[in-house]
Structure 1
Amino acid sequence: MKTTETMAVYTAKDFKNDVNVRWCPGCGDHAILKSLHAAMAELNIAPHQTVVVSGIGCSSRLPYYMNTYAFHSIHGRAPAIATGVKMANPDLNVWIITGDGDALAIGGNHFIHALRRNIDLNIILFNNKIYGLTKGQYSPTSDRGFISKSSPYGTVEDPFRPAELCFGARGTFFARTVDSDLKNSTLIMVEAAKHKGASVVEVLQNCVIYNNGIHKSITDRTARSEKTILLKQGEKMLFGANNDKGIVREGWDLKAVTIGQDGYTLDDVLVHDATTRDVTLHMKLALMGYNNTLPIALGTIRCVSAPTYEEEYEKQIVTVQNRLPERCLNDFLMYSTNIWEVK
């Protein structure tokens, strides 16, 4: 957990500034910004101890609306710059704001290596399955067959699924939420920030101009309870309008069942454990929803502890310093074999 000011209590207003928010009316980014302000207030970490770094894209305008230190960087390189910030001052609470195009296309390499190194960064990944800032081209998360300005006859590519990249890079924290669910988005962002290591929160976000309604099947009030499941640590995996459906194992796969039908009881329903080190079940849970027979999983899916890069780096420096005698510049010159006498 990052350094917290003693005796100070912050509200969401403390993290807002007076800059006019310039996203399209109805854009999901507005809700995400509000959730982030609320999460930062809940964490109670001073604005001057908080840094928000972004790349390029509609989502990446967010630092302009923060009363914190902020950096609107270059395309895809926010993880690299945020890593530098964290290494220079590990006590800072560092957030990365990025989109599916910024993070998973030009920034894909930086994204996976930040996770592999387990640097203590909080990554908020806005996923609207489109390039919005550049006016509607398909993105790395657009579904196969998606028609856009850059794929008028439909894409012939399979999309990235962010959870797979996260787990493949040995990520220690992955969660998912939707932009319109401010309450749970705030709670999930708080959990992500409290996690010691790299955290990824995928936010399923709506672009009202170029991809309106892309997540409608799970955000529509009439279908949400049947199409989504909110995973909670230590609780049964239940969903449905009456919480009468659950997730069970069937061989190597997961299956959605109705409790009381076909012989299934509450005892058959799985209990969520985000802290299990083995990634197998977490991967299956994260990929639910890509299969039409299963609800999409929201909430914190994986949260495991592991050494962070900055902590291990600092330990290494101390170890080397303790092992080697203290030297000055003259010592290095004397011990060097590459010495020439100039006459």
Structure 2
Amino acid sequence: MSSDVRFIDFKSDKQPTWCPGCGDFGTMNGMMKALAETGNHPDDTFVVAGIGCSGKIGTYMHSYALHGVHGRALPVGIGAKLANPELEVMVAGGDGDGYSIGAGHFVHAVRRNVDMSYVVMDNRIYGLTKGQASPTSREDFETSTTPDGTNMPPVNPLALALSAGATFIAQSFSSDSQRHTEIVKEAVEHDGFGFVNVYSPCVTFNDVDTYDYFRDAVVDLDETDHDRHDKDAAREKVLDGDTEYTGVIYQEENSVPWEEREGLDENMAEIPDGAPEGAMDLVREFY
């Protein structure tokens, strides 16, 4: 860990191709700030992403990175963390990637409680493929593929995480830069699986869940008497379908990461015998 790392050190020279105004800009900036402010260094950080608008986030961040396949980012991140517990592993995804094809991996990652963070950019739509309904879209949300609405209740990722035994559940809003960074920092610092669902508006295809909507609707739990260590209080919040909460909804006080329970504390990720001299230098240069 390094104490002199700056936010800019986590920023690559690749320019994002997101739509102007996309919520993912704010989400990524908060991730980079959180990593820097928790004393992490790009050389000790591994960012994994799946498919969707969020998928290239590892390209836009300066660290080790892998752009995986749809819904499979979490098992890659878990494997990297267990192979090298010294790495700071952050997995990034979208609501389609994480709560549709990746929902099974999400549940089991929560159960396993590996010491890593998972940041989901939830824009409640499939943005990359031009505006289809996603797992978190409203039941009456009309799109080109659901002209009469989805006719299904949206997936509740917070309730899903809580029921699977999550030890850290939080929600943030990408436009609230300072608060979003604080919440992601807490997820990074948590001993176990730190899950953050981020309201990250899609300005091109979703004209319902907009910046204005979230600014008016969001209730910050830090401004209430919510006890983050009370699971019953957390259950009440995640099942409240009328309020958009931000902040830490639940945190287990005595969380023990899976690798600590299993005694995995050594770096097993070594360059195999016979690897060319300077191989790691080439890998670092590539990323």
User: Among 78, 84, 87, which residue is 1:89 paired with?
Assistant: 84
3-state SS of 1:201 partner = strand
Q: What does 1:124-139 correspond to in 2, within 5 Å?
A: 124-139=119-134
User: Which deviations, in whole Å up to 9, do the C-alpha atoms of 1:53-77 show, x marking residues without a partner?
Assistant: 0110001111001111011011000
The question of 1:199 aligning with 2:194 is answered yes
Write the deviation string for residues 180-229 of structure 1: whole angstroms up to 9, x where unpaired: 10010000010000001111111111111111341445434xxx3xx332
Does residue 307 (structure 1) correspond to residue 261 (structure 2)? The answer is no
Q: Distance in 2 between matches of 1:228 and 1:207?
A: 17
Q: How many pairs align? A: 265
1:63 to 46, 58, 63: 58
Tell me what 2:227 maps to: 273
The 5-angstrom pairing of residues 113-262 of structure 1 reads: 113-216=108-211, 218-220=213-215, 224=216, 227-232=217-222, 237=224
Distance 2:27 2:185 in 1: 13
1:298 correspondence with 2:246: yes
The answer on whether the counterparts of 2:38 and 2:185 sit within 8 Å (CA) in structure 1 is yes
Q: Distance in 1 between matches of 2:18 and 2:251?
A: 32
Alpha-carbon RMSD: 1.8
* Deviations, residues 126-156 of structure 1 (Å, cap 9, x unaligned): 1111011111111111111211122112111
2-side partners of 1:83 and 1:315: how far apart? 13
| 1:18 CA displacement | 0.7
Residue 83 of structure 1 aligns to a residue whose secondary structure is helix
Q: Distance in 2 between matches of 1:39 and 1:306?
A: 21
| Maintained 8 Å contact 2:94/2:120 | yes
Q: What is the CA-CA distance between 1:315 and the residue it aligns to?
A: 6.3
**Structure 2 counterparts to residues 98-117 of structure 1, below 5 A:** 98-117=93-112
Contact conserved, 1:287 with 1:296, CA < 8 A, in 2? no
SS in 1 for 2:206: coil
* CA distance in structure 1 between the aligned counterparts of 2:22 and 2:190, rounded to whole angstroms: 29
Match of 1:283 in 2: 235
Distance 1:316 1:216 in 2: 43
Question: How big is the shift at 1:44?
Answer: 1.4
| Higher gyration radius (CA) | 1
**What is the CA-CA distance between 1:313 and the residue it aligns to?**
2.1
The equivalent position to 2:74 in structure 1, one of 67, 75, 79, is: 79
Which of 1 and 2 has higher RCO (CA within 8 Å, sep 6+)? 2
Contact 2:121 2:199 survives alignment (8 Å) = yes
AA at the equivalent of 1:19:
K
Q: Which residue of 2 aligns with 1:252?
A: none
For 2:238, give the aligned amino acid. A
Is the contact made by 2:85 and 2:265 (CA closer than 8 Å) also made in structure 1?
Answer: no
Whether contact under 8 Å (2:95, 2:120) holds in the other structure is yes
Question: Structure 1: where are the runs of 5+ without partners?
Answer: 238-270, 318-343
Aligned mates of 2:9, 2:212 — CA distance in 1: 35
**Gaps (5+ residues) in structure 2?**
267-287
- 2:260 alignment partner, SS class: helix
**Structure 1 segments (4+ residues) deviating >6 Å:** none
Shift of residue 36 of structure 1?
Answer: 1.4
Matches of 1:316 and 1:228, distance apart in 2: 40
Q: TM-score, normalised by structure 2?
A: 0.88
Q: Distance in 2 between matches of 1:40 and 1:306?
A: 21
The letter for the 2-side match of 1:284 is E
TM-score norm. by structure 1 comes to 0.74
